[in-house]
Amino acid sequence: MLCLFHCLNEIKYNSVVEEIQQYLTSGRLRTQDLSPAEWSDLVSIILSSESNLDVFELKNYDDSENVLLMLLPVVKVSITALLSLCYLSDRSCQAICFILSSQTSLLRVLDMSNNDLQDSGVQLLCEGLQSPNCKLESLSLSGCMVTEEGCASLALTLSSKPSALKQLDLSYNHPGESGLKLLSTGLDDPNWGLDTLRYADTSGFNRMRGDKTHRSLHFVI
């Protein structure tokens, strides 16, 4: 099957990536059966195709951490990475950290919501956010079991250097009053680049730079 995709790519078949995604999600091309060499071939096909790679959605391939780690070169050249609800852990956070730290990374929007990342995963992501090469503008960690400790790490990261991060979503976590205070206070600090902090529960509250807490029309589920 990979030979077929190679042929399609050689003749500039524009939807070759979509064809790969359909085969993976249908089970006709099972990721667990691919050898390391076949994974390398698959990544090469995706990167060399003419399909739009602006948005990478892991579920189009398989909702697993192992598949994400194999497809990191694709994530690196994508503008947006949608990794929500894909059973990710610290291993994924460490890998994403390297991408954020890379001078050649194009990543601007990262959605890792609804994964059990916890504070340890957030701390790994913070290492990437601290890199002078990091260009990330939007980070969603909704429903990732983040507590006051993770919020403190984020606050320290965002206050320690000029950051490209403009939007941070911490909805449905457990930041506690001290965690929210650390991050909310930063919105009033001119040295912070953060413009919007979402910490909604079912009531849907946001905090924006220069504004008091208000009810948002945009709910994060």
Q: How confident is the model at residue 181 (pLDDT cuts 50, 70, 90)?
A: confident
- Residue 98's pLDDT is what? 97
What average pLDDT is seen over the chain? Answer: 80
Q: How confident is the model at residue 220 (pLDDT cuts 50, 70, 90)?
A: very low
| Stretch among 9-18, 56-65, 77-86 having the lowest mean pLDDT | 9-18
- Residue 23's pLDDT is what? 55
Residue of higher predicted confidence among 119 and 59: 119
Q: How confident is the model at residue 52 (pLDDT cuts 50, 70, 90)?
A: low
What domains are there in the chain, each with its CATH number? Answer: 53-215 (3.80.10.10)
Q: Are 88 and 71 in contact (CB under 8 A)?
A: no
Close Cβ partners of 91 (under 8 Å, ≥ 6 residues apart): 65, 69
- Residue 151's pLDDT is what? 95
Q: How confident is the model at residue 97 (pLDDT cuts 50, 70, 90)?
A: very high
> pTM score, two decimals?
0.81
| Each residue's pLDDT tens digit, 78-94 | 999 999 999 999 999 99
- Residue 68's pLDDT is what? 94
- Complete edge-to-edge strand list for the sheet that includes strand 109-111: 55-57, 80-82, 109-111, 138-140, 167-169, 196-198, 205-208, 214-215
Alpha helix segments (H runs only) across the chain: 2-10, 16-26, 36-48, 65-70, 72-76, 90-101, 118-129, 148-160, 176-187
Tokens of 27: 């089970």
Rounded to 5 degrees, φ, ψ at 82 are -105, 105
| Each residue's pLDDT tens digit, 19-42 | 565 655 554 556 666 677 777 777
Q: Which range has the top average pLDDT, 20-29, 93-102, 189-198? A: 93-102
Q: Is the predicted pLDDT of residue 135 greater than 80, yes or no?
A: yes
Q: Which range has the top average pLDDT, 57-66, 135-144, 174-183, 190-199? A: 135-144
Q: Is the predicted pLDDT of residue 149 greater than 60, yes or no?
A: yes
